[in-house]
Copies of this chain bind each other. A is one copy, B any other.
Amino acid sequence: TSRKEGDKFNILSGFFEGKTTGTPLCATIENKDTKSKDYASVKTAMRPGHSDYSGYVKYSGYNDYRGSGHFSGRITAPLLFAGTIAMQILEKYKGVIIGTRIKSIYNINDDSEMKMSSHELNELKKKNFPVLSDLQGILMEQEILKAKENGDSVGGITETFILGVSAGYGEPFFDSVETKLSHMIFSIPAVKGIEFGEGFKVTEMKGSAANDQYYMDDGKILAHSNNNGGILGGITNGMPIVFRTAIKPTPSISKTQNTVDISTMTNKTIQVEGRHDPCIVPRAVPVIEGAAALVVLDLMLEREGEVWNLMK
């Protein structure tokens, strides 16, 4: 799709005659944008909103500060690589489709309701800027441009849909579907919140409204609503899995900010130089989808084993 990163990957192992072999798949993705000298100025000035200070303490000052080092958003490229393969497996062998829409950027919301068909999801996946309401999408993109012009940044909320997962995957308690998905999604830099189904809004509903009441539909058990986002007791109930992810504004901004110098332990101001993405939400979309695919594939491997695809 047009959303694909331009990164070239180089497979080193685990791929043979056009297929994965089952043994570890190893690939490298070269980072071609680095200019080490760009980052010399940030060696001791801790950029606000970044991991500079927490990473400095964690690694006792031995961390590689160039381009945020291991904390860089570019480290999501391998996650995207792995996730894309997981998504291909899920789609081919299980008919599972994962799609994500941008629900909001800054204060612009797309309140359109998802119809939740595989057709609608596939249409969404074709878009460069995956919103349901293209009008709201234009307003969002304007907001991003405006932030850029101001040397500032914006964040947003994405909404992810996973169709085709039947009931019975996951575990109660410590390995619930929510625990695994949240663990994975919070692994993506800049994520600050996750909610399933109606999430925080479900707290404003009465139980009688929040409960998803079941009915028989042509021999299949369905629910009239999906406030629980397809997960009950940590286990899938056959309804679409739905979750929303909060992504904070890019911390790299060119506006002057207050901070401290870690070497002198004094106050100073900082202006983060270089080309910065004023909004990482569109880039986060395929990463979130891929990360979710890895979790769903794991759930299926646990329940059906490594040979499930051969049993079809």
A-side residues, CB < 8 A to B, are 12-14, 16, 19-24, 28, 46, 48-51, 53-55, 57-60, 62-64, 66, 69-71, 75, 104-107, 147, 150, 152-157, 166-170, 172-174, 176, 178-180, 182-184, 186-187, 189, 191-200, 202-208, 210-216, 219, 221, 223-224, 227-229, 231-238, 244, 246-253, 255, 257-260, 262, 265-267, 278, 301-308, 310-311
Contacts and interface: CB of A to CB of B under 8 A. Distances in A.
A237 B179 contact: no
A219 B187 CA distance: 32
Across chains A and B, which 7 residue pairs bring their CB atoms closest together, nearest first?
Answer: A51-B233, A193-B195, A305-B305, A153-B207, A23-B70, A49-B211, A207-B249
Contact of A19 (B16, B62, B210): B62
Nearest to A260: B214
B207 A250 contact: yes
A211 B250 CA distance: 9
| Copies per assembly | 4
A58 B244 CA distance: 25
Given A14-B70, A253-B208, A199 B53 contact: no
A157 B249 CA distance: 24
Contacts of A19: 62
Given A23-B59, A203-B248, A214-B53, A192 B186 contact: no
Contacts of A202: 155, 192-193, 246, 248-249
Nearest to A237: B54
A166 B257 CA distance: 23
B62 A249 contact: no
A213 B269 CA distance: 10
Given A213-B259, A236-B54, A200 B157 contact: yes
Contact of A170 (B58, B170, B219, B237): B58
Given A176-B187, A192-B229, 14 more contacts: A21-B62, A21-B64, A23-B172, A49-B211, A51-B172, A150-B206, A155-B210, A174-B183, A179-B187, A186-B234, A192-B196, A192-B198, A216-B260, A304-B307
A179 B191 CA distance: 10
A104 B205 CA distance: 12
